[in-house]
Amino acid sequence: MINGYVKNHQMQHAHDLFDEMPMKDVVSWNTMLSGFHKTKNPEAVYLCLVQMRRVGFRPNEYTLSIVISAFLDSVFNVLVSQIHAHAVCLALNMSVFVGSALMRGYANVGNQVGLCRVFEDILVKDVTSWNALVSGYMELGCMVEAQGVFDAMPERNIVSWTSLVNGYICNKRINEARSVFNKMSERNVFSWTVMISGYVQNQKFMDALELFIWMLKSGCQPNHFTFSSVLDACAGCSSLIMGQQVHSSILKSGVPGDDILSTSVVDMYAKCGDIEAAFSFFESMPNKNLVSWNSIIGGFARHGLAIRALEEFERMIKFGVRPDEITFVNVLSACGHGGLIAEGEKYFNSMVEYTIKAGVEHYACMVDLYGRAGKLEKAEKFIKEMPFEPDVVVWGALLGACGLHSNLELGQVAAERICKLKNNHPAVYSMLSKIQGEKEEWSSVIEFREMMKERHVKKQKASSWVESPFGDR
């Protein structure tokens, strides 16, 4: 019964039933720990483990593995060494199962010495423990050591090869990753998906699509993770035709849809220019989560449909979905594109109602909003009143606005600030050159162009300072 509640995400019912049990064993405790882990509640896992020990139950291998996995990427990962000591006291540290989990834990906290020590303590090392060591080294950025361990492995499987490929991808070594991938004698859907996703992460979208076609020709059937990555690649290179073909393949393949895949479809159509198709598919989704709402709101904002973006935001709130930082970036961006100053100020000030602290992205959106509307003095004042130092995106938004309204004096201030941040992006020179040309200060224009030649700065195609070239804001 407890396991059934856990699988259906009803942890409170599971907890109540667990408390009513007259007799408990290690299996029932592990079931609760697993439930808290699945609901991403590391604090509850910690408290449950403490209570389990206080009443005299001895953890087994599965217990410690759950606990370590739950603590990864949380404030509780500092307890990895204590769990290791606990495992030694219980004589569980020599187990492959516990050892592999501990290696993941030590890699997560950046402890190379602990990683190696755990591996050495494992009594009988199998391919799983060797794979964990390779992955651990890669997570620590020790690529030479990881490759050395891989070469020394007495036995390798697909997981071994995929771990090495994924490690190179995580360390931004996409060419090395592809080289290892090409050497694989056998590939499964996971190895194909890791390589495709790696290309997407490194913005090599055409390479991702070409690899996907090769995957289909090899006879390997994609899963929903593969399709999601491929749709992201279509969105990245704005290939609507390819995106439509992938969407059609998803429908024909019978792959069960989930929130991630559905959101990728919405995002693909929105970024490929067909916002109505994006909205139509969004409306057909039976379950809409925060990510899917952010995707459609951001889609309307990018297409300059500010009113529709704000309408979707209000509808999201009515559905009881709580916004996050990304939601407000999309909303403020929509207000900027639509020239909706009053609405932008209202939404910016309403962030505190959702316990969201405004970040540099939100301030950049507000500067962009004021700047597009021609209120440059208000934008400058807003920057001066920021609670932290403005970055290149904030000053870039102001510089872009100065270019839009031919304000040379303030534009030079913004450019100087950007240069002080050691950013010699060509947009800085191009924008100032444009303003000076409009002011007919031709001597300054010639001087700037000469400076660009000396510094080997090339002109760049037009783009928004808020969204590009410094990342999707």
C-alpha 211/C-alpha 228 separation (Å) is 14
Q: Yes or no: say if 334 and 346 are a contact pair by the CB < 8 Å rule.
A: no
Listed residue (56, 58, 33) closest to 46, CA to CA:
33
Closest alpha carbon to 271 in 313, 306, 236, 304: 236
The two most distant CA atoms of the chain are separated, in Å, by 89
Q: Residues 317, 361, 323, CA angle at the centre, nearest 5°?
A: 15
The alpha carbon dihedral of 174, 176, 182, 183 has a sign of negative
Q: Which tens digit of pLDDT belongs to each residue from 449-465? A: 454 445 444 544 444 44
Rounded distance between C-alpha atoms, residue 169 and residue 440, angstroms = 49
The 10s digit of each residue's pLDDT in 214-226 is: 999 999 999 999 9
Tokens 């992460």: give the residue: 201
Instruction: Summarize pLDDT for 4-37 with one digit per residue, the tens.
Output: 988 888 899 999 999 999 899 999 999 999 999 9
pLDDT of residue 406: 74
Q: Which residues have CB under 8 Å from 235's CB, separation 6+?
A: 243, 264, 267, 268, 270, 271, 272
The residue assigned the tokens 């930082």 is 325
Per-position DSSP letters for 52-67, written without gaps between them = HHHTTPPP-HHHHHHH
As a whole number of angstroms, the distance between CA 452 and CA 152 comes to: 51
Q: What are phi and psi of 57, to 5 degrees?
A: -85, 140
Task: Output the pLDDT for position 434.
Answer: 55
CB-based contact 296:312 (threshold 8 Å):
yes
Q: Does the structure show a pLDDT above 60 at 130?
A: yes
Q: What is the pLDDT of residue 380?
A: 87
pLDDT in tens, 166-203: 999 999 999 999 999 999 999 999 999 999 999 999 99
Task: Give the gyration radius of the chain's Cα atoms.
Answer: 27
60: its two tokens:
């087994």
pLDDT confidence of residue 467:
47
3-state secondary structure of 375: coil
Determine what percent of the chain is predicted with pLDDT higher than 90. 67
pTM of the model: 0.79
Residue ranges of the domains in the chain?
382-473
pLDDT at 421: 64
pLDDT band, residue 415 (cuts 50/70/90): confident
Q: Could you tell me the pLDDT band of residue 157, with boundaries at 50, 70 and 90?
A: very high
